[in-house]
Amino acid sequence: MLRMQDISKIYRTDLIETHALRELSLEVKAGEFVSVSGPSGSGKSTFLNIAGLLETFDTGLYELDGREVSGLSDDARSRIRNEKIGFIFQGFNLIPDLDLFDNIDVPLRYRRMKADERRKRIESALELVGLASRTKHLPSQLSGGQQQRVAIARAIAGDPALILADEPTGNLDSLMARQIMDLLEKINAMGTTIVLVTHDPELARRAQRNIHIVDGVVIDSPPYQSRFTQFPPRTTAGAAAE
Amino acid sequence: MKTARTQVNLMNVPIRPLFSSLRRNPTGAVLVALQVAITLAVMINAAWIVAQRLEKLERPTGIDTRDTFEIGIVGSSRKFNVAQAESEDLAYLRGLPGVAAATVVNGILLTENGGDTDLSRDPGTNGPVVGANFLTVDDQALNTLDVPLIAGRNFRADEIRPLTKGKQTPPSEVIVTQSLARTLFPHGSALGRIIYNGDSNPLTVIGITRDFMGPQVGAPAYNTVLLPTMPGQAGLYALLVRTRPGMRDTVMREAKQHIGTAHRFGITGFSTPLAKAERQMHAGDRNTAILLTTVTALMLAVCCLGVFGLTTFNVGSRRRQIGTRRALGASKRDIVAHFMMEGALILSGGAFLGSILALVVGNWLTVHYALPRLDLVYLLGGVLALWIVGLLAAWQPARRAADVPPSVATRTV
Ligand SMILES: Nc1ncnc2c1ncn2[C@@H]1O[C@H](COP(=O)(O)OP(=O)(O)OP(=O)(O)O)[C@@H](O)[C@H]1O
Ligand SMILES: [Mg+2]
């Protein structure tokens, strides 16, 4: 489903170069449920953003669903995001002045889908996350856990092959977090590949496999049981050092 | 940063969700729509007025203004003998070597100092009426104005009704301009036909002149009726003088000086070369056109600023939403189209309101300022112009919205 080889990503500001990813290589097979953990600043979000085509990378190869994506145009990347990938964000990212129905409708509209097809998908997605009766509610009228479930409904409505979730439970209490995890497992069971970035060792353990990223590279043995030290990201004062 | 292809298909933007989000957050949009409405109403009517003024600038006076001047005479006391003063003045002027022709008249041409009246094909006050400048003159008027007759004949000297102490005998012959003749009698010739001025005696059209401009207080400029009547019942009259070429200023100075001291109880009032009156008449129109154009342009600019500001604000405050939309699959073009469509909705709302407002204002101007009824082409043109200019104003911030990177969706919490 997803194969990265020697992916490097450097963030450059006026004074500082940050090596967020250093020749990172990993593979996620179709149908897998993979968790990604690691210390803060280690590059987990960077990895996920690159995987989801939200950001570009500097060097390396990235094959998504059998297709090399590095040379693709902005439009083509948008289309892949729209058709193949479902995003779940830590902050839910629902559009505040659209009701639940219209929120879930957003990616389907960008796919230029017919109205009745969209309606069918929205209703069954809301059904799946248990919010079928709330289509006309605004996000602000829901709890955080409910909002995240709407976001999940939005992510799956387009029937993506891959779901990318960056700390989806980061803003939720542990009960709601477990409910979200249940939901993700259910979706995975229906065949969707899931990559989940999480700090929570309990949730990470529930995935089929855990990938550990430290300082921009994948560490082989996942030490999530132990208390690892926090690696600060290595930054080189590029221009300033000269 | 690479730019998206500029082909933006607004039709792909869903309108209903846009509408409902506008409805939930209406303040800015409503304010800008109101601004659009007011701007549109002013713009359309200003353009209409300017068009009338520009048209007026193009129109010839039909008079030899270069060699003609007028002097107004005002009685300073009830004892002023107008009839005597008139005949003395005319005799004096006609005796001057520089004078080609002179007449008395009841107003100053081209200066809005004069009278207008309503004429009708039927007696009484109920039938349809046509507005006209009216000039009470003697038999030398056409000669002095240098306006040729197209049909019929001039007044004879014996037809001129003299000023009398009591009630003046009303005239029964009139000469009309071609425009007036056509308006009164669209089918067939006006010559020999009868017209009425309210309950007046029947007036027979004995002559039709080429068009020329009257004083035009309220009447259409070229609608003029001439009556064979010595003016001055109210104690004031004007002398209209055409000089030999190039002698206007000399003659006018001399005449003013002489007449100013000639009468007991009579003084010279407003006097002007008609060329100057023409210039001032045009200056008024030109200034009005310039003023209205400037004000409208400013309002349009401010309106664009409003659209630009609102879009810029919306883009700035919705960066995360834009990033999320991008993450969910919106192309750059979708984002541009989204904000353009939002602008278009606001503009359309404003244009709808503005069109109604423009018609109301236009109607009011027609009723109160005798402006011709607003041409709907101006309404459509105004709506279209504002729409295009408004969308152009939204374009730059919309383009910037497209440059919000999709990673904003995850990077800003
Ligand atoms: N847009 C950016 N510009 C500059 N530096 C960035 C940018 N985004 C991330 N970085 C840096 O890249 C490194 C990796 O960041 P990343 O967000 O991937 O870490 P993370 O593992 O997701 O951390 P956390 O667990 O705190 O979310 C960090 O040092 C971060 O400061
Ligand atoms: Mg992160």
First to last CA, chain B: 24
Q: From the CB of A39, is ligand 1 less than 6 Å away?
A: no
Alpha-carbon distance of B296 to B303, in angstroms, equals 10
Cα–chain center distance at A188: 14
Would the CB atoms of B327 and A81 count as touching at under 8 Å? yes
CA distance A153 to A135: 12
Contacts of B326 in chain A (CB under 8 A): 54, 78, 81
* Type of residue found at B106: N
Identify which of B327, B331, B410 has the shortest CB distance to residue A75: B331
How far is it, in rounded angstroms, from Cα A208 to Cα A206? 7
Average pLDDT of the residues in A100-105: 94
What CA–CA distance (Å, rounded) separates B399 from B333?
Answer: 9
SS3 letters for chain A? CEEEEEEEEEEECCCCEEEEEEEEEEEECCCCEEEEECCCCCCHHHHHHHHCCCCCCCEEEEEECCEECCCCCHHHHHHHHHHHEEEECCCCCCCCCCCHHHHHHHHHHHCCCCHHHHHHHHHHHHHHHCCHHHCCCCHHHCCHHHHHHHHHHHHHHCCCCEEEEECCCCCCCHHHHHHHHHHHHHHHHCCCEEEEECCCHHHHHHCCEEEEEECCEEECCCCCCCCCCCCCCCEECHHHHC
pLDDT digits (tens, 9 = 90+) for B231-289: 988 888 999 999 999 999 999 999 999 998 888 888 888 889 999 999 988 898 899 99
pLDDT at B103: 96
User: In Å, what is the CA distance from B69 to each residue of A242, B12, B334, B348?
Assistant: 88, 69, 69, 54
Do residues B312 and B177 share a domain? Answer: no
Kindly determine whether residue B324 and residue A95, on different chains, have CB atoms separated by under 8 Å: yes
How many angstroms separate the Cα of A74 from the Cα of each of B12, B35, B275? 18, 37, 69
Enumerate the domain spans of chain A: 30-57+75-226
Domain boundary among B207, B235, B264: B264
Dihedral of the alpha carbons of A9, A13, A16, A18, in degrees to the nearest 10: -20
Q: Which residues pair with A217 in a beta bridge?
A: A214
**A46 pocket-lining for ligand 1 (C-beta < 6 Å):** yes
Count of structural domains, chain B: 2
Quote the distance between the C-alpha of residue A29 and its chain's center: 16
Question: Is B189 in the same domain as B322?
Answer: no
Residue B295, both tokens: 């004000």
Q: Is residue B402 part of a domain?
A: yes
Chain A positions touching B407 (Cβ under 8 A) are: 49, 54-55
Q: Is the pLDDT of residue A23 over 60?
A: yes
Res A238: pLDDT: 40
Sequence-distant (≥ 6) Cβ neighbours of residue B82 within 8 angstroms: B75, B163, B232, B233, B235, B236, B237, B266
Q: Based on the domain organization, do B207 and B328 belong to the same domain?
A: no
Indicate the helix (H) or strand (E) that contains B183. helix B178-184
Question: In terms of C-beta density within 10 A (0-12 exposed, 13-18 middle, 19 or more buried), how is residue B403 classed?
Answer: middle
> Is residue B95 located within the same domain as residue B230?
yes
Give B94's contacts (C-beta < 8 A, 6+ positions apart).
Answer: B101, B102
B395: left (phi over 0), alpha (psi -120 to 50) or beta: alpha
Task: Report helix, strand or coil for A21.
Answer: strand
- The pLDDT assigned to A222 comes to 47
Check B20 against A99: CB less than 8 A apart: yes
Q: Select from B235, B264, B293 the last residue of a domain.
A: B264
Tell me which residue has its CA closest to atom 3 in ligand 1. Answer: A11
Cα–Cα distance for residue pair B326/B334, rounded to 1 Å: 9
B410 with A90: Cβ contact below 8 A: yes
In chain B, which residues have their Cβ closer than 8 Å to the Cβ of A105?
A: 14, 17
Task: Tell which of A40, A110, A163 to mutate to test the B interface (max B CBs under 10 Å).
Answer: A110
Query: Given this model, what pLDDT does residue B113 score?
Result: 87
User: Has residue B72 been placed in a domain?
Assistant: no
From atom 28 of ligand 1, which residue's Cα is the shortest distance away? A41
Question: Residue A66 burial by CB count (10 A; 0-12/13-18/19+): exposed, middle or buried?
Answer: exposed
Tell me which chain B residues have a C-beta less than 8 angstroms from the C-beta of A52.
327
* Burial class, B58, CB count within 10 angstroms (exposed 0-12 / middle 13-18 / buried 19+): exposed
Q: Is A147 in the pocket of ligand 1 (CB under 6 A)?
A: no
Exposure of A194 in the CB half-sphere (CA atoms within 13 A): 31
> Which stretches of chain B drop beneath a pLDDT of 70?
1-13, 217, 412-413
pLDDT one-digit tens code per residue, B3-56: 444 455 555 667 888 888 888 888 999 999 999 999 999 999 999 999 988 988
Query: What stretches of B341-381 adopt beta strand conformation (E)?
Result: none
- Give domain status of residue B361, yes or no: yes
Beta bridge partners of residue B207, listed in sequence order: B152, B175
Measured CA to CA, the distance from residue B408 to residue B413 in angstroms comes to: 9
Q: Which two tokens stand for residue B193?
A: 């036909």
Q: How far is the CA of A192 from the centre of ligand 2 (A)?
A: 22
Query: What pLDDT is recorded for position B9?
Result: 58
Rg (CA), chain A: 18
Q: How far is CA A183 from the centre of its chain?
A: 15
CATH 3.40.50.300 fits A30-57+75-226, yes or no: yes
Cβ of A40 closer than 6 Å to ligand 1, yes or no, is: yes
What's the gap between Cα B101 and its chain centre?
Answer: 33
Tens of pLDDT, residue by residue over A168-201, are 998 899 899 999 999 999 999 999 999 999 988 8
B160 and B18 co-located in one domain: no
Cβ density class A136-160: b for 16+ within 10 Å, e for less: eebbeebeebbbbbbbbbbbbbbeb
Q: Do B340 and B384 lie in a common domain?
A: yes
Q: Is B332 a member of any domain?
A: yes
Is there a single domain that holds both residue B220 and residue B302? no
The two structure tokens encoding residue A94: 């629902």
Does B311 lie in the same domain as B248?
A: no
User: Which helix (H) or strand (E) segment is B27 a member of?
Assistant: helix B27-58
Q: Identify which has the larger pLDDT, A99 or B12.
A: A99
Amino acid at A90: Q
Same structural domain for residues B357 and B311? yes
Distance (Å, rounded) from C-alpha B399 to C-alpha A18? Answer: 29
pLDDT on residue B8: 55
Would you state the pLDDT for residue A191?
Answer: 94
pLDDT number for residue B396: 95
Between CA A148 and CA A142 the distance in angstroms is: 10
Q: ∠ CA A103-A119-A184 to the nearest 5 degrees?
A: 60
Mean pLDDT confidence for A126-152: 94
Mean pLDDT of A110-121: 93
CB contact under 8 A, A97 and B21: yes
Q: Give the bridge partners for B105, in sequence order.
A: B238
Choose among B376, B378, B382, B374: nearest CA to B351: B382
Report CA(A215)–ligand 1 centroid distance (Å): 10
Residue B272 lies in a domain: no
Q: How far apart are CA B124 and CA B200, in angstroms?
A: 8
Pull the structure tokens for residue A131: 């919010």
For A31-76, the pLDDT digits (tens) are 999 999 999 999 999 999 999 999 999 999 999 999 999 889 999 9
* Position B312 in a domain: yes
Q: Across chain B, what does the average pLDDT equal?
A: 90
Q: Where are the beta strands (DSSP E) in B11-166?
A: 68-75, 99-105, 115-119, 130-137, 149-152
Ligand 1 mutation target, pool A45, A214, A236, most atoms within 8 A of CB: A45
Residue B4 lies in a domain: no
- Residue B393 domain-assigned? yes
Residue A125 predicted with pLDDT over 70? yes
Token pair listed for A33: 């449920």
Of the pLDDT bands very low, low, confident and very high (cuts 50, 70, 90), residue A240 is very low
Secondary-structure percent of chain B, ordered helix, strand, coil, rounded to 5: 50, 20, 30
Between CA B352 and CA A47 the distance in angstroms is 50
In the reported structure, the alpha carbon of residue A232 is separated from the centroid of ligand 1 by a whole-number distance in angstroms of 11
- What is the domain extent for residue B35? 12-58+282-410
Bridge partners (DSSP) listed for residue A7: A24
